[in-house]
Chain A
Amino acid sequence: MRRVALLALRFNRASKARFALLTVSAAVGMAIFLIVSELSRLSSEDLQASISAEAGRTGTYAIDLASPFGLDPRSLLHRIDAAVRPYTTEPARMVVIIPPTAVDCPPDTSFGIAPLLVPYDRTGVPVDRSPKSAGVGTRLCIGGEEVPGSAARLPTTAERNLWFGAGSAGPSVGLILRGRYEGLALLASTDAPSYRFVVVTGRNSDLSFALSDAVTRELRDAAHRFGVPHVESAVVVTRLDTGQAIRRAAAGVDLVYGLIAWAVLALAGLGLLVAETIVVRDRMWFFGLSRAVGASGRDVAALVIVDIVLVLAAASALAIVLILVLQPVAASFAQNAFQISDVSLLKASVVPRLLLGELLVLGLAGAYPTARAVRQDPLDVLEPRVS
């Protein structure tokens, strides 16, 4: 193989102009492919982040249970995780919602009555972190008993978005209560708490029924044991994310960007295919001669493929140089067009895309000429078939 590669290298040395022309063409194609696909990725990420902030993460659902059906929080979370696993790669997030209750110590009336939220971590243990700030900044009483101000706090925007969907605001969503006060709050409440699980599927299509069905099936036996014959009535699935039309439009824009990038690369591949087909046609007698002096079909295929690989290797190096040169232009374009700053086109993530692109070009440009060179009957090019 090494000796065949040397031969291909020798051919390229013998026709420097052809090699340079093909290299530049392929390099321009690759550079445009990398720049467009990277800008597309960045603008898409930016767009998705904006949509997530304004309308929630794609495919976010709240699964509300009216009862834990006698299961402890850890088991409950484990079962919900098992039920939704086919639809998401992320574990479900759990929060216990204690119905609105008075939280001010008399005579204060800052909050009035508000739901209390107790988030659970991913192992099913209530979160007990003290707030970084001074909590709600007022005296709090739960069930008539004063608790420290750090026992509860207002949820952050991210928490509100997570538990109730983007755009939810105001004190009506409730206060986040530290885990150690959950028992006290439950005693103080006259109504039963509800259990909310938030699941992010990442898919645009509506999976409400599928999730409801999966959770119902998973909890049916526990509900029966608990004396609830119709578990369906105790499970409510609500989609929290909004703006489906914007998401579909964004997905369309992503697709168009991706198609443009790959089309540019495919064009480079087709250009190389035409050039390589001409080269192979001109070298057909040489391939025949090579067969006559001992080359196998595999050697002939290697000659063609190595020829293209050499062009692609040189083109990749040149494409990287081109990207370095075009980096300021691309950064300025990204800033003006998408308001994205700190654009860096040359990152480790570029390498797999570059390799994938090279494989595509190699496949496009190499398959037909290689097959043609291998199938060529050496006698047809070495001697006319007259006898």
Chain B
Amino acid sequence: MEEVKGQVISLPRLGEPAPAFEAVTTHGVLKLEDFKGSWLILFSHPADFTPVCTTEFIAFAEIHPDLQKRGVELVGLSVDSVSSHIAWVRNVEEKTGVKIPFPVIADLSKEVSLAYGMIHPGQSATATVRCVFIIDDKQIIRTILYYPLTTGRNMDEILRIIDALQTTDANAVATPANWRPGDMVVVPPPNTQEMAEERVKQGYECVDWYLCKKKL
């Protein structure tokens, strides 16, 4: 729980439905339900026209085609106005040649920021920190990442998490540390002694009965 100006806000948790929103964006008014059936990355940045955020927006724009291939939409957010967002994304395109293809929420009322726990008063009482919410096609929160104001996000890791979650969903497996697509995956641990005995005979690559891997 986070307390902001006397209000106690319940933070979203993994495995729970993503908080519904209706927000003004650079692509018009959007609702969370507009994204139903697609995966969604909802990310916040501290402010428009700031250096680290600009590098991040360019990096998000660069991975946008890779996200589209995976059925993932992208939405940015800060507490700036929609006019500020429009001016900034136009400036980024003019100065760097990179077009920002995704909508950016203008959360002046902080309604969405507070619902998602994006304002951390220890970092800033007014700006959103660098949050990433990965929401699946059923609108369930599957991953939450928080980065401090001074550290830009790692796009490779965001793509890796998407690949890992979608691989898990498609194959009922888990993914080990530093997993990359094509690597062996972890077979879920057995629940009974009988299953454990069977497991080691099934031809998986096993360290022991509780840690077995297989190729997909």
Decide if A and B are genuine partners: no
Give chain B's interface residues, CB within 8 Å of chain A.
Answer: none
A interface with B by C-beta (< 8 Å) = none
